[in-house]
Amino acid sequence: MGEEGMPSNVKNTAKTSPKLTLLPLVALIFYEVSGGPFGIEDSVKAGGGPLLSLLGFLIFPLIWSVPEALITAELATSFPENGGYVIWISSAFGPFWGFQEGFWKWFSGVMDNALYPVLFLDYLKHSLPIFNQLIFRIPALLAITVGLTYLNYRGLHIVGFSAVSLAIFSLCPFAVMGILSIPQVSPKQWLAVDFRKVDWRGYFNSMFWNLNYWDKASTLAGEIENPSKTFPKALFGAVALVVSSYLIPLLAGTGALKASSSEWTDGFFAEVGMLIGGVWLKWWIQAASAMSNLGLFEAEMSGDAFQLLGMSEMGLLPAIFASRSKYGTPTISILCSATGVIFLSWMSFQEILEFLNFLYAIGMLLEFAAFIKLRIKKPELHRPYKVPLETFGATLLCLPPAALLLLVMCLASLRTFLVSGAVIVLGFILYLTLGHAKDRKWVQFDTEHSAVFSAAGVRSNSDVRLLHQEVVDEASIMLLSDASTAKTGQESYEILVEGKLE
């Protein structure tokens, strides 16, 4: 790629930002989705015993995780740009819905990230009860958020390689716990269930939260080395790692102990470790929780920040969101995500869980629709990895996870419907407001290096200049154009895609 016309911050970034390779990407996806068994304890309580929890982590990956990973692999390799699913939706349905998808997923991602400092303190309070008191809890939440945000600022490659070490350290105590539990395991305890105590809303929300976000890493696809080959391998490796990291601790804990299902709440694995191995194992699990939450926070914030960067490069957000630090990280985007985390971290675990699941479910339904529409509308689109099914089979693949999404949404409380509805309305208002700000030139938007061109197969600056000459009205292809030019822009974009397919 030539450097003529390339902004200086982009050139510097290209020289100083190493690309993510397979192993760090596996670790990042692992932390985007899971981070280990921390937080799955509620599935035993909500399921009225071990049986439904164990069945859930055996069955849900087949009807949810695998289809989502397959679809993500196809779309992320077809559009290997920062922004991920925002580009997919924009390509299928236009810029308005691309922006809404980005806003919903970013908001749910920030809510998800607000969970990890909360989970960390929930584990810590078992040994240090002072963190039950707000006077100590609030400063601790702020300190954790600020410290982890700074680490994210220092560089994505650092986050990726750190995630590998963190994953190994976080999973080791559960491997040890699994081995120590073998003489104590009574298999019949795995079959225990009291349907009178089953909380279906809590159960499905817990399952869904612990097995979603497979698409999140697509938001930084532009930072991955050879994404067409690396991304699918990393996704499928992460699926196996996530499922085993849930089942082994659950089989050990529920099989070796006769604890009531009501005792299985956030942080209970530390007590399980103490009962199976002793105090040393309890402290090891608590330390692993701290490291896991660090990895979870870093992976989620990376995805959220690079999503905003990608949206800025597409022209959906002001250009300032694409500005990078000397470490190659999107500074303003990181600060924006960190601010959201601080404002949301006062909420309880279950409140955050239900809200983010609802918003995430809406976004995923749109992604499934985009996957099917792109198969029909653009069958010749270059797909380095393609789900080995024809369009009809691909549609059937989407039906079970779509049904699960609708079920999760139907089980939501009235409060969740109201809060989510307010977020959706806010997304509509933001789109119109940003469009107005762009027309009035109140803020600067990127009008030269749009990620849409790369998504259409454009690989060089000379191609970009040529396309600028081919399109009479440049505003018609920008993603925040007015309604009259949006239709023309979409038609122009489709022509460009068809003409530039590899």
Residue 220 banded pLDDT, cuts 50, 70, 90: confident
Higher pLDDT, 155 or 420: 420
CA distance 294 to 33: 14
List the domain boundaries for the chain. Answer: 22-440
Q: Tell me what pLDDT residue 333 has.
A: 85
Q: What is the spatial distance between Cα 115 and Cα 132, in angstroms, rounded to a whole number?
A: 16
Which two tokens mark 467? 């396309």
- Of all residues in the chain, what percent are helix, strand and coil, respectively (each to 5)? 75, 0, 25
Q: Three-state SS string across 115-164, please?
A: HHHHHHHHHHCCCCHHHHCHHHHHHHHHHHHHHHHHHHHCCHHHHHHHHH
Fold adopted by 22-440: Amino acid/polyamine transporter I (1.20.1740)
CA separation for the pair 264, 189 (Å, rounded): 15
DSSP state of 319: G
Asked whether the predicted pLDDT for residue 473 surpasses 70, the reply is no
- The answer to whether the pTM exceeds 0.85 is no
- Residue 135 Cα to chain centre, angstroms: 32
At 20, phi and psi to the nearest 5? -75, 135
Share of the chain above pLDDT 70, in %: 82
pLDDT at 472 exceeding the cut of 90: no
pLDDT band with cut points at 50, 70 and 90 for residue 185 = very high
Question: Helices 22-33 and 279-313 meet at what angle, rounded to 10?
Answer: 100
- The residue written with tokens 């994210």 in the block is 152
- Rounded to the nearest angstrom, the gap between the alpha carbon of residue 328 and the centroid of all alpha carbons in its chain is 20
- pLDDT, tens digit, for every residue of 290-333? 788 778 888 888 888 888 988 998 889 998 888 888 877 788 88
Does 460 have pLDDT greater than 70?
Answer: no
